[in-house]
Each structure stands twice: as structure tokens, then as C-alpha cells.
Amino acid sequence: MSSYLSSVHVARWYRLVRTIGVGAFGNVHECEVVLSNGLAASRRLAVKILRDSNDAENVGRFAREANLLRGLKHPNLIRAMEINLSHNPPYFVMELMQEVLSTRLERMMSQDTVYRAKPALESVLLPLCKAVAHLHFRNILSPGH
């Protein structure tokens, strides 16, 4: 893939490693941070890149999503670490999830164990419920929507 995005921080770049998701108006890529000395940092991140930066409505939605993520602080939610709306195309950098909840649940359910409900509840459903409750508390999600 070998594409690079310039950071708003002068001392680094983001090298796109692979595509990990495709959404309605942006693609999410795994990336590595490349420092000013050309070496890659050990931590991998995710970057969401707007596909169509010529559509003002999409740019506005993208900016709202990025700023919303930046303001979230909860252990079960991803947060935006850097937002660069002046880059063409605009992007924002997030923490990289090692495993999405649905994949974890599928893996747990495929294991040959008799009692799976408690581990599934503790490691998948409970964190999801806590995240949704936090979004309700912040009025980001409202009941019935």
C-alpha cells in the first residue's frame, strides 16, 4: 500500500499499511507512525480518510465525527488522537483496535466449551453496554434513535 499522510505535527508521517474498513464516506487503514528520522515507531494506529473531499456535506459530517471522537473519554470507546481537516484528503488518526467486539464474540462462540455465556457477557456485551450508556449520558445517542 505504501502511501503516506503528513501529520499536523511536523516531526512525523503516517504510512498506510493496509485497509481495515470501508464506511459510507471514508476508509479506515492501519498505519504506522514514521518519525522525522525515517524510522517507524513501534505503535500501530488507525487512520480514517475521507473519500470525497469535494462534497461539502461529507466534509462537514467527517469533521463532526472526528471532533466528536476527540471529545470522548471512555475505556470502551476509540478516541481520535489527531485530526487534519486541512490535508487533502482530510483524515483523523485513532487508536487501533486489536479485535472488534463482534469478532471476539464469534471466536468465543466457536470454541468448544459448554459454558460460554459468562465470558461473552464480561468481555463483549458488558463493555458494549457501558460504552452505549456513556454515549447516552453525553447525549450523543438518545433512546429510541
Q: What is the pLDDT along the chain (145 residues), one digit of tens a residue?
A: 558 777 776 677 899 999 998 988 899 999 998 887 777 787 899 999 999 888 889 899 999 889 888 888 888 888 888 999 888 899 999 989 876 666 766 776 676 555 566 666 677 777 878 888 878 887 776 666 5
Closest C-alpha to 86, from 45, 58, 53: 53
What's the number of domains the chain is made of?
A: 2
- Residue 101 phi, psi (nearest 5): -60, -40
The C-alpha atoms of residue 104 and residue 108 are separated, in whole angstroms, by 6
> What is the rounded CA–CA span in Å between residue 74 and residue 1?
32
One domain, residues 68 and 132: no
Same domain as 62, residue 126: no
Q: Are residues 55 and 121 in the same domain?
A: no
Confirm whether 144 is domain-assigned: no
Q: Is residue 143 part of a domain?
A: no
Give the closest residue to 20 by CA, choosing from 102, 103, 108, 96. Answer: 96
The span from the CA of 76 to the CA of 28, in Å, is 19
> Is 66 in the same domain as 131?
no
Which of 63, 80, 95 lies at the terminal end of a domain, its last residue?
Answer: 95
